[in-house]
Structure 1
Amino acid sequence: MSKLTNKGLLMTALICGNVLWGGTAVHAEEIGEYDLDTMVVTATRTMKQLQEVPASVSVVTAKDIEARNVTTIQEALQYVPGLYMNQMKAQDDQIMLRGMDTPNILVLVDGVQLNSAYKGAVNFDQIPVESIERIEVLRGAASSIYGGRAVAGVINITTKEATGKLNGDVVLSYGSNNTWKKSVQARAKVNDKWSFGVGYENSSSDGYRGFYRTAKASSGTGMYNANLPVLSDGKTYVYGGRGEKQWKTENYNFNVKYNFNDSQSLKYAFNRSESEKKYVNPFSYVKDAAGNPVYNGTVTTQNGNKITLKTSSFFGYDNIDIRNIHSLTYNDEKNNLNASFSYAKDQISGFTSPNSPTDINYTGPGDLSDHPGELYSLNIEKAWENVGNHTILVGGNYKQEEMVQHRFNLSKWHDRDSKLNEYATDSGKVKNAALFVQDEYKMNDKVTMYAGLRYDNYKKGDGHFWKAGAYDTTSQGESYNELSPKLAFDFKADENTNYYVSYGHSFNPGPMYQIYRYGGSGMGQVIPNPELDPETSDTFEVGMKQKLSDNTNFGINLYRIETKDKIAYTSFYNAAGDCTHKQYINYNEEKRRGVEFELNHKFDSNWSAYLNYAWQTGKTSGAVIPGTNKNQAYSGVADYTVPKHLFHSGIEYNNDKLNVLLDCQYVSERMSPDSATGEYGAEDAFFIVNTGINYKLAKDVTLQFGITNLLDKEFYCSEATAGRTYNVGLRYSF
Structure 2
Amino acid sequence: MKHSSSVRVLLTRSIFLSSCLAATAIQAAERLDPIVVTATRAPQTIDQTLSSVTIIEREEIEGLQPQQFTDLLRGRAGVGVADTGPFGKPSSVFTRGTNSNHTLLLVDGVRMGSATTGSPAWQYLPPSEIERIEIVRGPRTSIYGSDAIGGVIQIFTREGREGPPRVNAFVGGGSFNTRELGAGVAGGTAKTRYSLSASHFDTDGIDVLTGVGDDDPDGYDNASVSGKVRHGFDNGMEVFGSLLYSEGRTEFDADEFIFDPETFELVDVRPFAPAYSDYRQSAVRVGVRRALTDTWDTQLALSQSRDELFTLEGGSVADRESRFDTRRDMADWQNTVSLPGGWLLLGGIDAYEDRVSSTEAFAEDSRYNVGIYSVVDGQLGRHDLTASLRRDDNEQFGGKTTGQLGWGLPVSGTTRVRASVGTAFNAPTFNELYFPGSAFFEGNPELDPEESRTLELGARYASGPVFIDAAVFHTRIDDLITNVTDDQGRFSPRNVDEARIQGLELEGGYQAGDWIARAAVTLLDAEDRETGNELRRRPPASARLDIDRRIGNLSVGGSLLAQARSFEDSDNTERLSGFATFDLRASYAIDREWTVSASAQNLFDRDYVVARQFGTDYNQPGRGLFVTLDYQQR
How much has 1:247 moved relative to structure 2?
1.0
Which whole-Å CA distance do the structure 1 matches of 2:338 and 2:627 have between them? 49
- Which residue of structure 2 aligns with residue 120 of structure 1? 118
Note the alpha carbon deviations across 1:624-682, whole angstroms, 9 max, x for none: xxxxxxxxxx3x332242111111112221133100002101011221799999xxx86
Structure 1 270/159 Cα, relative in aligned 2: closer, same or farther at 3 Å? closer
SS at match of 2:217: strand
Matched, 1:616 2:530: no
- Which residue of structure 1 aligns with residue 328 of structure 2? 375
Residues 102 and 115 of structure 1 are in contact (CA less than 8 Å); yes or no, is this contact kept in structure 2?
A: no
Structure 1 484/331 Cα, relative in aligned 2: closer, same or farther at 3 Å? same
Which whole-Å CA distance do the structure 2 matches of 1:261 and 1:643 have between them? 55
Residues 31 and 465 of structure 2 are in contact (CA less than 8 Å); yes or no, is this contact kept in structure 1?
A: no
- Which residue of structure 1 aligns with residue 367 of structure 2? 430
- Which residue of structure 1 aligns with residue 509 of structure 2? 600
Residues 130 and 169 of structure 1 are in contact (CA less than 8 Å); yes or no, is this contact kept in structure 2?
A: no
Which whole-Å CA distance do the structure 1 matches of 2:507 and 2:593 have between them? 33
Which whole-Å CA distance do the structure 1 matches of 2:228 and 2:431 have between them? 32
State the one-letter code of the partner of 1:432.
N
Matched, 1:352 2:351: no
Which whole-Å CA distance do the structure 2 matches of 1:246 and 1:426 have between them? 35
Note the alpha carbon deviations across 1:213-248, whole angstroms, 9 max, x for none: 37xxxxxxxxxxxxxxxxxxxxxxxxx855321111
Which whole-Å CA distance do the structure 1 matches of 2:438 and 2:204 have between them? 30
Which whole-Å CA distance do the structure 2 matches of 1:119 and 1:553 have between them? 38
- Which residue of structure 1 aligns with residue 408 of structure 2? 490
- Select the residue among 44, 69, 88 that pairs with 1:73: 69
Q: Could you tell me the percent identity over the aligned residues? A: 20
Q: How does 1:579-598 map to 2 (within 5 A)?
A: 580-598=489-507
Structure 1 176/309 Cα, relative in aligned 2: closer, same or farther at 3 Å? farther
Matched, 1:386 2:304: no
SS at match of 1:171: strand
Which whole-Å CA distance do the structure 2 matches of 1:94 and 1:725 have between them? 23
* TM-score normalized with structure 2 length: 0.86
- Which residue of structure 1 aligns with residue 251 of structure 2? 278
Which whole-Å CA distance do the structure 1 matches of 2:57 and 2:237 have between them? 25
State the one-letter code of the partner of 1:37.
D
- Which residue of structure 1 aligns with residue 432 of structure 2? 514
Residues 36 and 49 of structure 1 are in contact (CA less than 8 Å); yes or no, is this contact kept in structure 2?
A: no
Residues 131 and 185 of structure 1 are in contact (CA less than 8 Å); yes or no, is this contact kept in structure 2?
A: no
State the one-letter code of the partner of 1:454.
R
How much has 1:79 moved relative to structure 2?
5.4
State the one-letter code of the partner of 2:347.
V
Which whole-Å CA distance do the structure 2 matches of 1:125 and 1:201 have between them? 16
- Which residue of structure 1 aligns with residue 225 of structure 2? 252
How much has 1:109 moved relative to structure 2?
1.1
* TM-score normalized with structure 1 length: 0.75
State the one-letter code of the partner of 1:343.
Q
How much has 1:426 moved relative to structure 2?
5.2
- Which residue of structure 2 aligns with residue 342 of structure 1? 303
Which whole-Å CA distance do the structure 2 matches of 1:36 and 1:93 have between them? 34
Note the alpha carbon deviations across 1:252-282, whole angstroms, 9 max, x for none: 23344332238531123333321211248x9
User: For structure 1, which segment, 706-715 or 385-394, has the greater mean C-alpha deviation from structure 2 after superposition?
Assistant: 385-394
- Which residue of structure 2 aligns with residue 217 of structure 1? none
Residues 157 and 226 of structure 2 are in contact (CA less than 8 Å); yes or no, is this contact kept in structure 1?
A: no
- Which residue of structure 1 aligns with residue 12 of structure 2? none
Residues 668 and 685 of structure 1 are in contact (CA less than 8 Å); yes or no, is this contact kept in structure 2?
A: yes
- Select the residue among 451, 454, 474 that pairs with 1:560: 474
Matched, 1:170 2:169: yes
Structure 1 395/169 Cα, relative in aligned 2: closer, same or farther at 3 Å? same
Residues 536 and 570 of structure 2 are in contact (CA less than 8 Å); yes or no, is this contact kept in structure 1?
A: no
SS at match of 1:63: helix
Q: How does 1:475-554 map to 2 (within 5 A)?
A: 479-518=397-436, 520-521=438-439, 525-547=440-462, 549-554=463-468
Structure 1 520/36 Cα, relative in aligned 2: closer, same or farther at 3 Å? farther
State the one-letter code of the partner of 1:160.
R
Which whole-Å CA distance do the structure 1 matches of 2:52 and 2:202 have between them? 35
Matched, 1:453 2:400: no
Note the alpha carbon deviations across 1:417-461, whole angstroms, 9 max, x for none: xxxxxxx565422211111112113111x201112110111112x
Matched, 1:641 2:534: no
- Which residue of structure 2 aligns with residue 402 of structure 1? 355
User: For structure 1, which segment, 168-177 or 105-114, has the greater mean C-alpha deviation from structure 2 after superposition?
Assistant: 168-177
How much has 1:503 moved relative to structure 2?
0.4
- Which residue of structure 2 aligns with residue 667 of structure 1? 563
SS at match of 1:456: strand
Which whole-Å CA distance do the structure 2 matches of 1:510 and 1:673 have between them? 22
How much has 1:529 moved relative to structure 2?
1.2
Note the alpha carbon deviations across 1:542-562, whole angstroms, 9 max, x for none: 000012x42321110000110
How many residues were matched structurally? 590
Residues 279 and 315 of structure 1 are in contact (CA less than 8 Å); yes or no, is this contact kept in structure 2?
A: no
SS at match of 1:637: coil
Residues 36 and 51 of structure 1 are in contact (CA less than 8 Å); yes or no, is this contact kept in structure 2?
A: no
Which whole-Å CA distance do the structure 1 matches of 2:410 and 2:215 have between them? 57
SS at match of 2:61: helix
How much has 1:350 moved relative to structure 2?
2.7
- Which residue of structure 2 aligns with residue 322 of structure 1? 280
Q: What is the alpha-carbon root mean square deviation over aligned residues?
A: 3.0
Which whole-Å CA distance do the structure 2 matches of 1:561 and 1:449 have between them? 21
Matched, 1:202 2:200: yes
Residues 389 and 404 of structure 2 are in contact (CA less than 8 Å); yes or no, is this contact kept in structure 1?
A: yes
Which whole-Å CA distance do the structure 1 matches of 2:282 and 2:145 have between them? 23
Which whole-Å CA distance do the structure 2 matches of 1:260 and 1:503 have between them? 41
Unaligned runs of 5+ in 1: 1-9, 15-33, 215-239, 284-294, 298-307, 358-363, 408-423, 461-478, 575-579, 623-633
- Which residue of structure 1 aligns with residue 632 of structure 2? 733
Matched, 1:49 2:45: yes
State the one-letter code of the partner of 1:485.
G
State the one-letter code of the partner of 1:326.
V
Residues 213 and 313 of structure 1 are in contact (CA less than 8 Å); yes or no, is this contact kept in structure 2?
A: no
SS at match of 1:698: coil
How much has 1:35 moved relative to structure 2?
6.7
User: For structure 1, which segment, 682-691 or 494-503, has the greater mean C-alpha deviation from structure 2 after superposition?
Assistant: 682-691
Which whole-Å CA distance do the structure 1 matches of 2:545 and 2:223 have between them? 32
Higher-RCO chain (CA-CA 8 Å, sequence separation at least 6): 1
Which whole-Å CA distance do the structure 2 matches of 1:728 and 1:519 have between them? 50
- Select the residue among 666, 674, 686 that pairs with 2:579: 686
Residues 107 and 283 of structure 2 are in contact (CA less than 8 Å); yes or no, is this contact kept in structure 1?
A: no
Residues 405 and 426 of structure 1 are in contact (CA less than 8 Å); yes or no, is this contact kept in structure 2?
A: no
- Which residue of structure 1 aligns with residue 25 of structure 2? none
Residues 139 and 152 of structure 1 are in contact (CA less than 8 Å); yes or no, is this contact kept in structure 2?
A: yes
Residues 453 and 485 of structure 1 are in contact (CA less than 8 Å); yes or no, is this contact kept in structure 2?
A: yes
How much has 1:316 moved relative to structure 2?
7.1
Which whole-Å CA distance do the structure 2 matches of 1:389 and 1:193 have between them? 28
Residues 213 and 314 of structure 1 are in contact (CA less than 8 Å); yes or no, is this contact kept in structure 2?
A: no
Matched, 1:58 2:54: yes
Which whole-Å CA distance do the structure 2 matches of 1:458 and 1:674 have between them? 31
SS at match of 1:252: strand
- Select the residue among 568, 593, 598 that pairs with 1:705: 598
State the one-letter code of the partner of 1:249.
N
- Select the residue among 357, 369, 378 that pairs with 1:441: 378
Structure 1 210/132 Cα, relative in aligned 2: closer, same or farther at 3 Å? closer
SS at match of 1:75: helix
Unaligned runs of 5+ in 2: 1-16, 22-29, 260-265, 613-617
- Select the residue among 273, 284, 289 that pairs with 1:331: 289
Residues 112 and 283 of structure 2 are in contact (CA less than 8 Å); yes or no, is this contact kept in structure 1?
A: no
Structure 1 650/618 Cα, relative in aligned 2: closer, same or farther at 3 Å? same
Which whole-Å CA distance do the structure 1 matches of 2:422 and 2:570 have between them? 36
